[in-house]
Each structure stands twice: as structure tokens, then as C-alpha cells.
Structure 1
Amino acid sequence: MSNRTLISIVDDDEPYRDSMRKLILLFGYTVEVYASAADFLGSRHLTDTACLVADVHMPGMTGVELHRHLVDAGYAIPTILVTAYPDEVVREQALKDGVVCCLSKPVDDDYLEQCLRSALQPGTPIEDNS
């Protein structure tokens, strides 16, 4: 992947958002970060985003709601959801709705990298890490 491939991170937890930004930069991607779904939706990078990494639980619009909103609006942005509060029902529904991966915080670096590759190159296998 080119280092110009843009990954957008939406998470209301600033320290986590910053650490995720640094990690994804180490993978070689360009990264933009947002504190809320509204910030992302209003950004100039919405249409440039190759993959979205969003927190499930955020004030306002959740990561699940953000993914559904993007799909309904016609934006086919591969999405990876992360959460500190894993819920199997939410996970299963999100995967049925087309989310690439659902990860528990703290995320496994290697698994995140696999999920990003799969999001950016559909058909790339992901080892089950649940």
C-alpha cells in the first residue's frame, strides 16, 4: 500500500486516538483523526478515506451508527470497529452489516494490520482472533 492511503480514525478518547494514529502511521499509512462522528462527516477527508477505524461507543453517533449512515449515504468506506466493551450481539450484527473487523481494546497490533490489509485489499484472509 502507498503511504498516501488515508486511514481515518474516529474515537472520542484522545490518548487512545493518538496511540492508534501513531501505530497506523508505523504501518505506513496516512492518518487523520477525529473526536466524533460529526467531525469526520463534516471533514474534507470523508471522500478520500480508504478505511475508517471507529470506536463503537461514542457520544452522539456511535461507530455502528456511523457505519450505517455512511452505507445509507452511498459511501463504501471499509470500516473497522474497536471497543473497550465487547458485545457479541453488536459484533455479529456489525459484521452482517459489512464491517470488516470488530476489535477489542487494547487491539492486537498484528491483527489490526491484517484487518487494514483486508479492508484495503478485499479477499485478503484474516486469521480469526476472537
Structure 2
Amino acid sequence: MSKTVYIVDDEESVIASLQNLLEAEGYAISAFTSSSDFLSEADYKTPGCLITDLNMPGFDGFDVSERLTERGYSIPTIFLTGFGTIPITVRAMKAGAFEFLTKPVMPDDLIKVVEDALALSEKSATLSQEKRLVTARYNSLTPREKELMKYIVRGLLNKQIAAEMGISEITAKVHKRRVLEKMMVRSVSEIVRMAERLNLIQDN
């Protein structure tokens, strides 16, 4: 199975160096000098990992990671930066970084991190695909339907949902049915499990 390493860095010399190193290890490389070009990709290959510079024009490395998560992708991300500080490192870890490395990176260190990141990607491929499907369904909901879904997850009855949203009980029932249809579930317990996958439970 082909393993893909995505590289996003606005410095072509950095891309060339990383590409030469990782291609020699047998990895397929997909490189971008623009974070927006990378984010415009229709899909990302699995197993795969991302190496991205933190400091770039437009979307920085944190923005890239955030937008991938919003779209339901769980790509192990390795952040690179020329200025490693404790606050930046902490922020990178909170952003879900697989690893945070300071330039210049030692070749052996990078190869080991990439190897581990791809192993994780391979293991979580099925879960990632399921999360993307659930995320796409959730994103198809209107803002009102997303609000109602949170009340469903909290276990509120139709009458209670209607009171919370300032709508009639009949309207609440109709919206609830649409939410269940769009999320492709038949029961409240199923939609609760989906909310857990989307990390929505903690928001309630």
C-alpha cells in the first residue's frame, strides 16, 4: 500500500530537501507551496501524514490543521517551525499535533516521526473514513437543525425542545425527523453516538 506524505511549506528549498529525503525512503510525496492549494484538494490519501510549516502567508499551520479537522480528516500532522517556543509548542499540542519539530530537523529524527505518523494513519484509516461521513452529514444540517440536534443529544423531549427554541411542538417534531433523516439514523441513541464522534457532547 502506497504511503503519502503531504508537505506544505512556502519555501521551495525546504520542500526539495524534505522531498529528496522522504522519497529515498520510498514514500509518495505530494508537495504544496501554498496552504490554500493544499486545502483545495478534494480528498487525501490514506495512509498519509502532513508536514506543515507553522509560519506561512495566508493560512498558517494551525489554520491548516483546524480546517482539516472541520472537514472530518484525522491526518497525523507534524508541525515545523524556525522558532520553537514553549507557548507555540503548547498550542501545537492542543491543536492535535502528532509532533512538533524545530528547523533544521535532523534527517533520522524526521524519518522516525514520519514512520510513526504513517503507522498511526494506517491504523485509524477506517475510523477516519467514518468520521468524515458523519462530519459531512452534520455539515448538511442548517444552523437551526444543528441547534435542535444538541437538544436531542441532551435528551430533551419534543415539548421541551419546542420551548427552548420558541417553536410549536409539531414544528419541533418535523425538524427532529429531518435531523434524523439527514444524519441517516433511526434512533436518538444512534445520534448520540454520532455526536460523541463529532465531540459535540462536551459542548452541551
Question: Which TM-score tier does this pair reach, normalised by the shorter chain?
Answer: 0.7 to 0.9
Q: Whole-Å Cα distance in 2 between the matches of residues 42 and 61 of structure 1?
A: 12
Q: Whole-Å Cα distance in 2 between the matches of residues 69 and 8 of structure 1?
A: 15
Q: Whole-Å Cα distance in 2 between the matches of residues 108 and 48 of structure 1?
A: 26
User: Shift of residue 29 of structure 1?
Assistant: 0.4
Question: In the alignment, is residue 48 of structure 1 matched against residue 45 of structure 2?
Answer: yes
The aligned residue for residue 136 of structure 2 is none
Secondary structure (helix, strand or coil) at the match of 2:55 reads: coil
Normalized per residue, which structure has more helix?
A: 2
Q: Whole-Å Cα distance in 1 between the matches of residues 111 and 94 of structure 2?
A: 21
The aligned residue for residue 71 of structure 1 is 69
Secondary structure (helix, strand or coil) at the match of 1:80 reads: strand
The aligned residue for residue 80 of structure 2 is 82
Q: Whole-Å Cα distance in 2 between the matches of residues 112 and 81 of structure 1?
A: 11
Specify which structure has the bigger relative contact order, considering alpha-carbon pairs within 8 angstroms and separated by 6 or more residues.
1
1:1-130 equivalent positions in 2, closer than 5 A: 2=1, 4-44=2-42, 46-48=43-45, 50-122=48-120
Aligned AA for 2:17? S
Larger Rg: 2
Q: Whole-Å Cα distance in 1 between the matches of residues 90 and 26 of structure 2?
A: 30
Alpha carbons 2:3, 2:27 under 8 Å: kept: yes
Alpha carbons 1:56, 1:83 under 8 Å: kept: yes
Q: Any unmatched runs of 5+ in structure 2?
A: 121-204
User: Shift of residue 99 of structure 1?
Assistant: 0.7
CA offsets 1:60-112 (integer angstroms, 9 cap, x no match): 00011111111122111110010112122111121122211111111111111
Q: Whole-Å Cα distance in 2 between the matches of residues 76 and 96 of structure 1?
A: 14
TM-score computed with the length of structure 1 as normaliser: 0.85
TM-score computed with the length of structure 2 as normaliser: 0.55
Q: Any unmatched runs of 5+ in structure 1?
A: 123-130
Secondary structure (helix, strand or coil) at the match of 1:120 reads: helix
Instruction: Please identify runs of 4+ aligned residues in structure 1 that moved more than 4 A.
Output: none
Alpha carbons 1:100, 1:118 under 8 Å: kept: no
Q: Whole-Å Cα distance in 2 between the matches of residues 110 and 92 of structure 1?
A: 24
Aligned AA for 2:95? D
Number of aligned positions between the proteins: 119
User: Shift of residue 58 of structure 1?
Assistant: 0.2
Q: Whole-Å Cα distance in 1 between the matches of residues 85 and 34 of structure 2?
A: 21
Alpha carbons 2:6, 2:29 under 8 Å: kept: yes
